[in-house]
Amino acid sequence: MLLLAVILASACSADEQVPTPAVVQVNPLAEAVSNDEIVARLYYGFTDNRLLAGENRRIKVPVNESIETSVLNELIREGPSQGSASLRQVINPETTVVAAAAEGQYLAVTLSRDFLMQPAVQNGGTLLSGQAERTRRFLAVYSVVNTLIEQGSYSRVRLLIDEDGTGAGRPITLQEAGMSGNGECEPLARNGEIELTAINTMRELLRAVEQRDWSLVYDFIAYKNQYGQDKPSFEDFRSDVERARFALSNPQVLDDVLAPDGTSEIIMVSYDLRPQDGETQSFTNVPRRLILENDIWKITYNAFSSMFLL
């Protein structure tokens, strides 16, 4: 009887289904695994001027990359978003990030020699020369420097160029960085003067108005106002300002206050304005509003008109 029970128990065990462990598909590429996602502000050239404007970008950081390397790859390879018509890529997209390593409070960044070449060379475009090329080099350097320092971990960036593909970089020279002088470029701090913060945007806008640079002024006007209305064409805008025949003088930017809505900023300014066939009027410490449009500070056409087209 005992033998029969053992036989029956064995038969029942054989009929039971043993669960098969689930197979987990694993991507063999380490870069396919992300251990973090960050938001970084990437800086690009603003139109054709010696200015940088930023756009915020969500970036996935693979487990085999540092945050700084991932940010640089996004900055260089992807370029400005398609909706950012005012932004220009000033770095050759063929540039490779060879290394990014900490040196105390500094970050040493080694880039391939493509960094020294113009983006237009790769695309069959027209080569820049003279001051235009020096401006591009200058902006390319600070596009990297400002983007990295605003991550909050390093106070300076030392740029190195890997000329022969060995990974051993040499310091970028002042001339290669679009700066005056000879010799190597020292580690660079963030350059806030060329960033289009709200207060810098107002300063550049007033300077352009004073110099009657209507093309640049037009770039600072938002595509839509607070009511969703489009700004006029450049031809209509230029006709409006030339018909008004006003003159701006003594512009000063005094202070700025972030508005409660978080998408506009109040800039306190002073300036003198002489309208057509009229006496000069002085405006002292008056508020003027800028709005964020695609991460860039702009003035609406309504605000511009009330400010200048009296």
Do β-strands 52-62 and 106-112 pair in parallel, antiparallel, or remain unpaired?
unpaired
Measured between alpha carbons, how far is 24 from 29 in angstroms, rounded to an integer?
15
Angle between helices 234-244 and 301-308 (to 10 degrees): 10
**pTM attached to this predicted model:** 0.82
Q: Does residue 310 sit in helix, strand or coil?
A: coil
Q: CB under 8 Å to 239, separation ≥6 — which residues?
A: none
In percent, the amount of the chain with pLDDT more than 70 equals: 85
Contact assessment for residue 190 and residue 150, using Cβ atoms and an 8 Å cutoff: yes
Q: What integer pLDDT is reported at residue 7 of this predicted model?
A: 42
Do β-strands 87-88 and 247-258 pair in parallel, antiparallel, or remain unpaired?
unpaired
Is residue 4 domain-resident?
A: no
The token pair that represents 147 in the structure block: 């983007």
If 0-12 CB within 10 Å is exposed, 13-18 middle and 19+ buried, where does residue 30 land? Answer: exposed
Q: What integer pLDDT is reported at residue 240 of this predicted model?
A: 92
The token pair that represents 281 in the structure block: 């009027």
Whether 279 and 265 map to the same domain: the answer is: yes
- What are the tens digits of pLDDT across the range 195-252? 999 999 999 999 999 999 999 999 999 998 877 789 999 999 999 999 988 999 999 9
Do β-strands 87-88 and 264-274 pair in parallel, antiparallel, or remain unpaired?
unpaired
| Maximum Cα–Cα distance across the chain | 123
Q: Cα 289 to chain center, whole Å?
A: 22
Whether 207 and 81 map to the same domain: the answer is: no
Q: Among the three residues 194, 212, 234, which one is the final residue of a domain in this structure?
A: 194
The residue among 249, 278, 219, 251 whose CA lies nearest residue 84 is 219
Whether 91 and 103 map to the same domain: the answer is: yes
Which stretches in the chain have pLDDT values below 70? 1-35, 83, 120-125, 127
Whether 169 and 207 map to the same domain: the answer is: no
Tell me how crowded residue 52 is: count the other CB atoms within 10 A of its CB: 27
Is residue 42 domain-resident?
A: yes
The residue among 141, 63, 70 whose CA lies nearest residue 100 is 70
Q: What integer pLDDT is reported at residue 35 of this predicted model?
A: 64
Q: What integer pLDDT is reported at residue 23 of this predicted model?
A: 41
Tell me how crowded residue 257 is: count the other CB atoms within 10 A of its CB: 11
- What are the tens digits of pLDDT across the range 41-64? 999 999 888 999 999 999 999 998
Q: Among the three residues 152, 167, 194, which one is the final residue of a domain in this structure?
A: 194
Q: Among the three residues 161, 194, 227, which one is the final residue of a domain in this structure?
A: 194
Number of structural domains, the chain? 2
DSSP bridge pairs for 56: 41
Q: What integer pLDDT is reported at residue 276 of this predicted model?
A: 79
Q: What integer pLDDT is reported at residue 224 of this predicted model?
A: 87
Instruction: Output the domain CATH number for residue 228.
Output: 3.10.450.50
Q: What integer pLDDT is reported at residue 9 of this predicted model?
A: 46
Whether 291 and 144 map to the same domain: the answer is: no
Whether 66 and 126 map to the same domain: the answer is: yes
* Residue span of the structural domain in which 280 resides: 198-308
Whether 116 and 206 map to the same domain: the answer is: no
Q: What integer pLDDT is reported at residue 275 of this predicted model?
A: 87
